[in-house]
A and B are shown apart, each in its own frame.
Chain A
């Protein structure tokens, strides 16, 4: 089996992007793996694992008409990695507060120091235009106990940042 590529596409959001991109890849003989596709600030963003018996140049060439038509920026990297490598998060960290510089860096530095591995992170700026509210939701895996995470985050909480850590319990049945 051919190795995986990570295909990145970004463009102004409109309907039909996913359909046209994936049809092009299908016609090229591509196999799709895991993907993350989401609208961010009015842009549509795609991160998509693709593999097949073709070069990255051939993939870019095949996508050129679609990306020109939909005004998408396209990027491809050969990546290591495989399917069936899922990790299950055991903690969820939620942050909300007035939008201010450095909040993400501060929270994630504290988590990284405890060996917290971020598996998913999404953040949003919501609220009113003149009073933006920053919301971040992290799911990840950490060997350290809940108390250690809470203690490490306590100074930030004392500064008025609302951070909560919740253990995630996986139920298999």
Chain B
């Protein structure tokens, strides 16, 4: 296994839209192993997307199982993932392997239903919530050339205040 180089802002390749995966072969398994090794070599990332290592194909890895008290589906390889349902929204703080030394608040859906293929091309459906759902949304943004810095809300944008405002 190899640790791959991570693209970092302002590298414009991070804005590229990735293409669907069509070949579920040995080369793909090999790449996924390298991608996971790269994730684990970084600063405690719970996810990584293929375009972060300059492979512009629609695949991400998410694994939030290392966090205490966090509902999760374990180690997930999500290929050609698609969110088919969103629910709720919450602010949470995010950072990114491709944006060192910066974190910011981002609004994400609190629950999602997701369809994705695995390494062998088998289709699966997942119901996810909270931290895991946030991680998946962050990684899937990478596939569309979007970074969390494109979604950061001002420190004064407080969901709590928005909710109170809505009650009026």
With an 8 A cutoff between CB atoms, is A135 at the interface? yes
Say how far A160's CB is from chain B's closest CB, in angstroms.
18
Tell me if B97 counts as interface (CB < 8 A to partner A): yes
Interface residue? B139 (CB, 8 A): yes
Do A84 and B93 touch (CB < 8 A)? no
Give 1 or 0 for each of A65-87: 1 = CB within 8 Å of chain B CB.
Answer: 00000000000000000001010
Interface size on A, residues (CB 8 A): 17
Q: Is A2 an interface residue (CB 8 A)?
A: no
Known A-B contacts A86-B102, A88-B103, A120-B155; the reply to A170 vs B161 at CB < 8 A is no
Q: A126's closest neighbor in chain B, by CB?
A: B161
Query: Nearest chain-B residue to A170 (Cβ)?
Result: B93
* Bound: A171/B103 CA distance, A: 9
Q: How many residues of B contact A (CB 8 A)?
A: 28
Proximity bits, A113-148, B CB within 8 Å = 1, else 0 = 000000010100000000000010101000000000
B134-148 contacts to A, CB under 8 A, are 134-135, 138-139
Partner of A171, one of B102, B131, B158: B131
Interface majority SS (helix, strand, loop, mixed), chain B: mixed
CB distance from B8 to the nearest CB of A (A): 14
Closest residue to B158 on the A side, CB-wise?
A: A137
Interface of A is mostly: strand
Given the interface contacts A94-B160, A135-B161, does A170 sit within 8 Å of B155 by beta carbon? no
Q: Whole-angstrom distance between the alpha carbons of A84 and B156 in the complex?
A: 22
Q: Is the CB of A173 within 8 A of B93?
A: no
> Are A171's CB and B46's CB within 8 A?
yes
Quick one: which of A84, A88, A169, A173 has the most chain B CB within 10 A?
A: A173
Nearest chain B CB to A88 CB, angstrom units: 5
Name the one of B96, B134, B155 contacting A122, with C-beta atoms under 8 angstroms: B155
User: Which one of A88, A120, A169 contacts B92 once the chains associate, using CB atoms below 8 Å?
Assistant: A169
- Does any Cβ of B come within 8 Å of A1's Cβ? no
Can you add 18 more A-B contacts, CB < 8 Å, to A169-B131, A172-B43, A173-B96?
A38-B156, A88-B103, A89-B93, A94-B158, A120-B155, A137-B160, A168-B92, A170-B93, A170-B94, A171-B135, A171-B138, A172-B46, A172-B94, A172-B96, A173-B45, A173-B48, A173-B62, A173-B97
A-B contact pairs, 23 of them (CB 8 A): A38-B156, A84-B101, A86-B103, A88-B93, A88-B95, A89-B93, A94-B158, A168-B92, A168-B93, A170-B94, A171-B46, A171-B92, A171-B93, A171-B94, A171-B135, A172-B44, A172-B95, A172-B97, A173-B49, A173-B95, A173-B96, A173-B135, A173-B138
